[in-house]
Amino acid sequence: MKAVSVRLRVFLLFSALAVACVAAVGVAFGSGVYRGVVPIDSVVGPLIIAGFLLLGLVMSAWFAFDKYIARPIDRLAAEMRVRAHCNTSHEIDLAETHYLGDLAHAADAVTRRLGEATFETAGTVARETARLEVERQRLTACLTEIPVATIVVSATDKIVLYDGQAAEILAQTATPRLNAPISDYFEESALGRAKQALANDGNEIAFDLSDIGQSITHSAVMRSFADGGYLLAFQTANIRLAPDAARPLVYDFSLLDREPPPSLIDCPLRDLVYCVFDTETTGLIPHRDEIVQIGAIRIVDGKLVEGETFDTLVDPGGPIPRASSKIHGITDKMVMGQPRIAEAGRRFFEFSKESVLVAHNAPFDMSFLRRHEKAMGVAFDHPIVDTVLVSAIIFGTTERHMLDVVCERLGIRIEKKDRHTALGDARVTAEAMKRMLPLLEARGIKTFGKLIAETRKRGRLVADLN
């Protein structure tokens, strides 16, 4: 019964009470008929009337209890979880819970104090994080000036770190991605031979390494780590970032120790790589309208990877209606010369490889992409998570689940300039997904399989609110 909500338990209780009341009336009337006190033909009508009256009274009592007690309890519990797990100062709406008496005020006081203590700690952490970020920026600047591109790879051949110059090399083949297989970028057989030679001959080996298309060959050095991982270094005297170009140093060393899960179903939610995306379109009809922008950002190890974003305008091949341009601000002039969906979609597919696709009202965005799969030459067979349904799991199916409302509940600020841009909406959706992960875990939903099972239960209950 742990997984059964308070509202469902209350409904089952009142349903049982209604059945018991009707049964009691039936037994009373039946007893009179059995003893011959009341003729049977005069009992049927009053029995039916009494049964319906009792059912109406009990269901009216249930409706009032559900509206004023059970539903506010569910809402209060959800808002307490948001405060406890999302480190937000989001206010509990006491007006919606005043029928609970002092319970709501007590919960508000406890969570407010918890929030104050959390923010005090968060302030200390933020200051230390800012100091470390300054040091990271200095290190990144130093690495950029050294003509060596650096990639750190785990024992399972997944990318754990790459610097700005390495990003330039990786981008010649595909979009740089943390936790992506190194074989997505370089010839696997050459890597295998180098690893074998390294195991036989020492801690460092120089060799030639070609990209997977064998169009570019690099002089590389491989150096081993004690845990089985290794470092790849490339001489990059010919690679220079522009003065105003981004110089990412993208890394997550926790990936070095991560063992691959036995299956996707059993994979912990925090261990998954999520590609959170959004599209802007010429209209709302997937079989007729077209995509004009795709934006995406990746979540690795429960954190947004700011150095890994995807943002492109798309030429829809026809005029963009003025009504649509008023919403997302994209005009015919802006998309002139931009890639068509076949190319843009293929590039997005490469960016999202080996990840779980996440979107707010995912069926809408996926229907536009899948319509052009043949032209792209790809199949979007990724696992998919819809944040509308994730919100429904946490806050209940009777609540509203528009993106703005979900962000407000989670204490996420949406910049007006970013709203209704593909990357802007993808970023706030990613932040919402990140904040909802601990809320799911608090409900006992800790693996991808359990999440999918819960979303399937609600898939038919939540209306499309976008």
The contacts found for 201-206 with CB under 8 angstroms, 24 or more apart, are: none
Catalytic residue among 85, 90, 105, 420: 420
> Could you report how far apart the first and last alpha carbons of the chain are, in Å?
33
- Quote the tokens at residue 133: 């970020």
Helical (H) or strand (E) element with 161: strand 159-162
Any idea what the Cα angle at residue 272 is, between residues 269 and 275, rounded to 5°?
Answer: 115
Question: What kind and span of H or E run contains 45?
Answer: helix 44-65
Rounded Cα distance, 359 and 345, in Å = 16
| 316 Ramachandran zone, left/alpha/beta (phi>0; psi -120 to 50) | alpha
Q: Cα separation of 303 and 248, whole Å?
A: 16
**360 belongs to the catalytic site:** no
CB atoms within 10 A of CB 399: 17
Please name the residues in contact with 220: beta carbons below 8 A apart, sequence gap of 6 or more: 194, 206, 207, 208, 209, 232, 233, 234
Closest CA to 233 of 172, 153, 171: 153
Torsions phi, psi of 11, nearest 5?
A: -60, -45
User: What is the DSSP code string of 375-426?
Assistant: HHT------EEEHHHHHHHHH-TTS---HHHHHHHHT----TTTTTSHHHHH
Residue 155 φ then ψ, to 5°: -65, -20
Which residues lie below 8 Å from residue 302, measured CB to CB, with a gap of 6+? 270, 434, 437
Identity of the residue numbered 297: I
Tell the residue number behind the tokens 């993208």, with chain if given: 250
- Which residues are tagged catalytic? 420
